[in-house]
Amino acid sequence: MQLQSLIFLLITFPFFSQAQTTGADQTGVYLPLLKGKKVGMVVNQTSVIGDRLSVDSLHALGVDIRMVFGPEHGFRGNASNGAEVGDEKDRATGIPIISLYGAKRQPTPQEMAALDVLIFDIQDVGCRFYTNINTLAEVMDACAKAGKELIIFDRPNPNAFVDGPILDMENRSGIGRFPIPITHGMTIGEFAQMLNGEGWLPNKTKCKIRVIKIKDYRHDMYYTLPVGPSPNLNTQESVILYPSLCLFEGTIVSQGRGTYMPFTVLGAPALKGKFDFSFKPVSIPGKSETPLHQDQTCYGLDLRKYDIKALHAKGKVNIRWIMDMYKAYPYKGKFFDRSQSQQIGNIDGLAGVKKFKQQIIAGTSEAEIRKSWEPGLSQYKQMRKKYVLYP
C-alpha cells in the first residue's frame, strides 16, 4: 500500500518543466557545504532533485546522510491526516528514518549531537493550517539549542499571496501556531527568516539558517507542483483550492476526504435537493480511513473544473463558498458542530478568529468580513517585507 500510494502521487502530479530552479536542484551550490559533514535531512515525498528523491540523489553523490526525519504523513507521504508515524529504516539506503509526527515533534539532543548539519527540504503550500511550518519551527528550535546550522532547500509557494484574518493567539493550536493570515505569502526559506526575526521560536532563540534560494522565481508565478504534497492534496486543483476549502474542516460539510478527489468537492447528505452533484465518501487506507459522512451520499459542489489559475491570480481566499453553503444548509445549528463533523479542528482555529463564525451566522457581507481583517492584514504585509527573498 505504501508503494501504491507513492506511485499514485507521482502519476497524479507528472513532472512538468518549470521556469524556476528549486534550491534542491542546485547541487553545485550546496554540495561543497556538505563535504565531510554528518548530515541529517528533514524530507518527505516532495523532496526531489529532478525526478528522484533528494535523499537517494545525495546518498548516491556520496553525502554522508546519517538520519532522515519525516513530518506529518511520513517520509514517503502515505500516512493519513493526523496519523502518528513510527520510526523505520529506509529500504533503499538503510538510513534510519525518524518520525517527527509520532511520539516527538523535533530531533532529540542526542540525535542532533550525532549530526554536523541538518537539511530541510519539504514542499509547503503556503497556508497557516498546513503543518509543515510547524515542523520547520520545531527543527529550527532543535538546531538552535544544539548550535547546528539548518540548510533550507527553498521551493516555490503555489499559494504565494497574503489573505485572511490574522490568527488571534487565543485560538493557537496545532493548525495555527503563529500570528499570521490564512495564506502567509512566503516560501519556507522566507518563513524561516520570519520565525527568527520575530522571535517566534521558544525563548526567542535564533537558529543559524542558510537558504539555498530558488533561481528565477517571483511570488506571482503560477507554480505547478511536481509531486503531491500529501495524500489528500493529490492534484494541482486541490492545492490551489486548499486555502479556501480547508475552512470546511470546521463544519459538517465534507471536502471530499474518502474519495479520490479530496479538496475539489464539497457536500453533505442534508443538502439533497439543494444541489445536483453528489459523491459518496468511503474508507480509503492511507488517505482517509474514517471520513466524514462515510458511506453516505453527499450533495454539493464539484469544483474540479473551476478556473484555478483565475483563483490564483485574484490572490484571495474564496469565502463565498462557506457563506453560500451555510445559507443552503437546512440545520444551521449543526453546520459548525465539530462533534458532528469529527474533523481536524474547529472553525475558530482554522479561521484564526472567533468573529468569522459569528459573521457567517449573522449573514455579514463579504466586504464587511474582509474589512474586519484590518488593520492586522496590512500590518502583516508590512512586516513580511523584511523577510522576503524574491520579488
Residue position matching grid coordinates 529500504: 91
Q: Please name the amino acid found at residue 381.
A: K
Residue position matching grid coordinates 526531489: 48
Q: Can you tell me whether residue 341 is helix, strand or coil?
A: helix
Per-residue pLDDT of the chain (391 residues; tens, 9 = 90+): 343 444 344 434 433 335 799 999 999 999 999 999 999 999 999 999 999 999 999 999 999 999 999 886 556 544 444 455 566 788 778 899 998 877 788 999 999 999 999 999 999 999 999 999 999 999 999 999 999 999 999 999 999 999 999 999 999 998 999 999 999 999 999 999 999 999 999 999 999 999 999 999 999 999 999 999 999 999 999 999 999 999 999 999 999 999 999 999 999 999 999 999 999 999 999 889 999 999 999 999 999 999 999 999 999 999 999 999 999 999 999 999 865 544 456 899 999 999 999 999 999 999 999 999 999 999 999 999 999 999 9
Please give the sequence-ordered ranges of beta strands (E in DSSP) within 112-181, or none if there are none.
117-121, 149-153, 162-163
Q: Please name the amino acid found at residue 217.
A: Y
Domain 2-212 annotated CATH 3.40.50.12170: yes
The mean of the pLDDT values for the chain is 91
Q: Can you tell me whether residue 71 is helix, strand or coil?
A: coil
CATH code 3.90.1150.140 region(s) in the chain = 236-376
CATH code 3.40.50.12170 region(s) in the chain = 2-212
* CATH value of 236-376 in 3.90.320.10, 3.90.1150.140, 3.30.470.30, 1.10.3720.10: 3.90.1150.140
pTM comes to 0.91
Closest Cα partner for 156 from 190, 192, 131? Answer: 190
Helices (H) and strands (E) in the chain, counts: 14, 14
Closest Cα partner for 237 from 256, 218, 252, 221? Answer: 256
Q: Please name the amino acid found at residue 88.
A: E
